[in-house]
Amino acid sequence: MCGIVGYIGDKLAQPILLNGLKRLEYRGYDSAGMVTYLPVKNSLSIRKLPGKVRVLEALLKKKPLSGNLGISHTRWSTHGEPNQVNAHPHLDCKNEIAIVHNGIIENYAVLKAQLIKEKHKFISQTDTEVIVHLIEKFYKDCSLENAVRQAISKLEGSFAIGVISRREPDKLIGVRCGSPLIVGVGKDENFLASDVPALLDATKEVIFLEENEMAVLSKDKIEITSFSGVPVKMSPVTVSWDVSQAQKGGFTHFMLKEINEQPAVLENMLNQRILKDRPEVFFDQLKISREEIFAVKNITVVACGTAYHAGLCGKYILEELCKISVSVDLSSEFRYRNPLVDKDTLIIAISQSGETADTLAAVREAKKKEAKILAVCNVLGSSLTREADGVIYTNAGPEIGVASTKAYTAQLSVLYLLAIYIADIRKTLDTNTKIGLINTLKTIPRLQEKILKNQKEITAIAQRHHHFGSFLFLGRHINFPSALEGALKLKEISYIPAEGYAAGEMKHGPIALIDEYRAVVCVAPHSKVYEKMISNIQEIHSRRGKIIAIASEGDEKIKELTREVIYIPQVDELFSPLITVLPMQLLAYDISVKRGCDVDQPRNLAKSVTVE
Ligand code: AGP
């Protein structure tokens, strides 16, 4: 996510703004910038660059900024490449107003077209720039805060913004809608920040803005109102966290924070990707036409690790909804196999980082054979997105923990939406079925939240099983990939040998492993293969295997076979991977913590495998 820092007071703004950005680096970003108000020239002066905060710091050493009013920003790109022009802050036509933004303006294209008609000059590809030109449009004979109010009333999407103007340099304005923003309360100085860590070196007194609130800060005054200007009661709190805890939002590890972000990530995606007025899916940067998609004769998914498991789920989803043949390949195998793909093949390359060497190589191999490339990726401007014909961003925000969690469910969510989109084109779904699927998808965030509230029980199961020397994870049908993902999560952060297997394969070998020293996680929600899973569990039970079952709420039968049951809400089988994976993420997390492993940076692993 982007990071915002603002300052107004008697001190030099630059060092405060820079230090604040450094405290927000954990949020992940690709560019950094700052603007301050220079009284002597009555001007706004900007320094901004792609790259790390230290690159901005080096520039500021050479060309420092004076002034004691300013805003600064670290950008996690969602619209427009990570480059100098697209970095924040952004200015209006007359360089009177400066803005920084965290979030996504969904209707920016319409607004931009209208503002261009009204002769506003745009220089970036960002959605953010429409906001500062909208403020300029309304900033005629009214206060800055009123101009901001009128501007944000035109916006759809999520936005936390910081605004300053050289016309009223005694004001620092903050707005919160869908993205967090916090006021830091100082003595003869006040602050804005996206997150607490950026404030802790200056103050522990903070005010968390609520949704649809605006803060107007001067150095010795704080006014908070609703968007319509109605004053709201301020409730400052004193933060007890240290900086490191604060960067994880109060969670002990980034991985746990990211596991808990999954409902919000899915909710944001559904808001961005499903039209408000009718049950249609749309992708704004797909760049592969409906005609080209209609002409596709087969699909091949290429990916590694967790992304590969998402791709395996994708096979069930796409074949079920689009009635098209889907193969799924490990990128590292695909690239050396002389694959049978051609101009009629759609390659779906799934990658959180967009920099995985094997997946990039697989895509280049497929391009040589004239296949169409669709990237499903979380990092805008990454190599994969630049080499693909079309891109669907997962917009999960930066994933800091090496073990992928929210990116995985975001990839799955994209695949559900993509399948509905392709089915629409291929006419393999009737309208009622499509509406039903979309409505079911919309219920998932709440169901995920229900599981996350149940973590204590999962922790207790982890306590009772963390000492096992090896685990088997079993699943069937669309939850076979879920079992693979559960095994990968456990092995990569606890270093316990863990194997995912199709439960139907038990008799073909793995059942030889079963004894009282083997823990077996069985993914057994109510489904068309439930009875088959029960048979597998009975086989394990009769051989004294230690069973941990993931079962649907209300399932009493499973209790005859094991006391270790993690109940999950009932959901349509097709969507169950979005639910069944959460208990396994939490189980892996708790076992890793219990075993004293480095959850966020497990040994031998990198977040992005950019080499073979
Ligand atoms: C998953 O938890 C691992 N960190 C790893 O398997 C990862 O999924 C794999 O390296 C692929 O990375 P990518 O999605 O960035 O391409």
CA distance 457 to 455: 5
85 and 221 in one domain?
A: yes
Per the domain annotation, does 603 fall within a domain?
no
253, 258, 328, 353, best to mutate for ligand 1 pocket (most atoms within 8 Å of CB): 353
Q: Output the CA 307–ligand 1 centroid distance in Å.
A: 6
424 and 324 in one domain?
A: yes
270 and 222 in one domain?
A: no
Per the domain annotation, does 131 fall within a domain?
yes
132 and 120 in one domain?
A: yes
331 and 281 in one domain?
A: yes
Per the domain annotation, does 612 fall within a domain?
no
Q: Output the CA 510–ligand 1 centroid distance in Å.
A: 26
- Closest ligand 1 atom number to CA of residue 607: 4
Active site residue ranges: 2, 607
409 and 344 in one domain?
A: yes
Q: Output the CA 13–ligand 1 centroid distance in Å.
A: 40
322 and 197 in one domain?
A: no
Instruction: Report pLDDT for 278.
Output: 84
Q: Give pLDDT < 50 ranges for the chain.
A: none
Give me the helices (H) in 193-304, please: 243-247, 254-260, 262-273, 290-295
Q: How many helices (H) and strands (E) does the chain have?
A: 19, 24
Q: Domain ends where: 215, 241, 267?
A: 241
Please name every residue paired with 99 in a beta bridge, in sequence order, or none if there are none.
90, 163
CB-based contacts of 475: which residues, under 8 Å, 6+ apart?
Answer: 481, 482, 483, 484, 486, 500, 502, 503, 522, 523, 533, 580
Per the domain annotation, does 604 fall within a domain?
no
- Closest ligand 1 atom number to CA of residue 359: 16
| 382 close to ligand 1 (CB < 6 Angstrom) | no
Tell me how many domains the chain contains. Answer: 3
Please name every residue paired with 325 in a beta bridge, in sequence order, or none if there are none.
298
Phi and psi at 580, nearest 5°, equal -65, -25
164 and 88 in one domain?
A: yes
305 and 193 in one domain?
A: no
| 562 close to ligand 1 (CB < 6 Angstrom) | no
Do 588 and 336 contact (CB within 8 A), yes or no? no
| 307 close to ligand 1 (CB < 6 Angstrom) | yes
Q: Domain ends where: 216, 241, 266?
A: 241
Instruction: Report pLDDT for 601.
Output: 86
Kindly report the protein residue whose alpha carbon is nearest to atom 6 of ligand 1.
305
573 and 532 in one domain?
A: yes
Q: Output the CA 304–ligand 1 centroid distance in Å.
A: 6
Per the domain annotation, does 192 fall within a domain?
yes
| 490 close to ligand 1 (CB < 6 Angstrom) | no
Per the domain annotation, does 611 fall within a domain?
no
Instruction: Report pLDDT for 237.
Output: 86
Instruction: Report pLDDT for 511.
Output: 95
What is the CATH classification number for the domain harbouring 175?
Answer: 3.60.20.10
Do 485 and 500 contact (CB within 8 A), yes or no? yes
Per the domain annotation, does 128 fall within a domain?
yes
- Domain span at 508: 455-594
Q: Judging by DSSP bridges, how do beta strands 182-185 and 157-165 pair with one another?
A: unpaired
Token pair 């929210």 is found at 406
Cis peptide before 89 (omega within 30 of 0): yes
Do 426 and 322 contact (CB within 8 A), yes or no? yes
Q: Output the CA 532–ligand 1 centroid distance in Å.
A: 31
Instruction: Report pLDDT for 26.
Output: 77
| 570 close to ligand 1 (CB < 6 Angstrom) | no
Instruction: Report pLDDT for 485.
Output: 98
Q: For the stretch 304-336, what's the b/e string if a residue is b when 16 or more beta carbons lie within 10 angstroms of its beta carbon? A: bbbbbbbbbbbbbbbeebbebebbbbbbbebbe
Q: Domain ends where: 412, 432, 452?
A: 452
CA neighbor of 547 nearest in space, from 445, 609, 473: 473
CA neighbor of 350 nearest in space, from 383, 301, 315: 301
Per the domain annotation, does 248 fall within a domain?
no
Tell me, what amino acid is at 411?
A: Q
Do 185 and 215 contact (CB within 8 A), yes or no? no
Instruction: Report pLDDT for 197.
Output: 87
Looking at the chain, how many residues does it have? 612
What is the CATH classification number for the domain harbouring 409?
Answer: 3.40.50.10490
333 and 423 in one domain?
A: yes
Instruction: Report pLDDT for 382.
Output: 79
Instruction: Report pLDDT for 82.
Output: 87
326 and 439 in one domain?
A: yes
294 by Cβ neighbours in 10 Å (0-12 / 13-18 / 19+) ranks as exposed
pTM here? 0.78
